[in-house]
Amino acid sequence: MSQPIEGTEERSLGDLVSEVTQDLSTLIRQELELARAELGAEAKKAGKAGGLLGGAGYAGHMVALFASLALTLALGLVMPLSLAALAVAVLWAVVGFVLYRKGRQELATVHPKPERTIESIKEDVQWASPRRS
């Protein structure tokens, strides 16, 4: 039998398998932690976008209600009341559209797929797969 290199010791197959199993377990835990962190960040962005859209809808409703009434009455002094109401409705339609577009833009930046985790797992698979010469 050959002598072990100085400073090393021979380990049994069971020890080696145990070490590989432990390393694999650590690797899987780290990958899951990375995925959780990535998905948490994306969920936060989605929540922000949803909040913006909800806030825009509520604010649009309240503003449309009170400002429309005041503006319609003010315009009613210089033009027929029905025409004044129509002009105010068109104005708030434009405001609502702008808020909607802003919310959609924010929502478009959300990426629910954990890209870094997928790349990291692909690298792990390449590293762990047997090398072919």
pTM given for the model? 0.40
Looking at residue 133, its pLDDT comes to 46
Interatomic CA distance for residues 43 and 112, integer angstroms:
8
What type of residue sits at position 10? E
Looking at residue 9, its pLDDT comes to 63
**Residue 123: which H helix or E strand, with range?**
helix 115-128
- What are the Cα distances from residue 111, in Å, to 32, 42, 59, 122, 123? 18, 6, 27, 19, 21
Looking at residue 67, its pLDDT comes to 78
Contact between 102 and 53 under an 8 Å Cβ cutoff? The reply is no
pLDDT lower than 70: segments of the chain: 1-9, 130-133
Q: Which two tokens stand for residue 12?
A: 């049994």
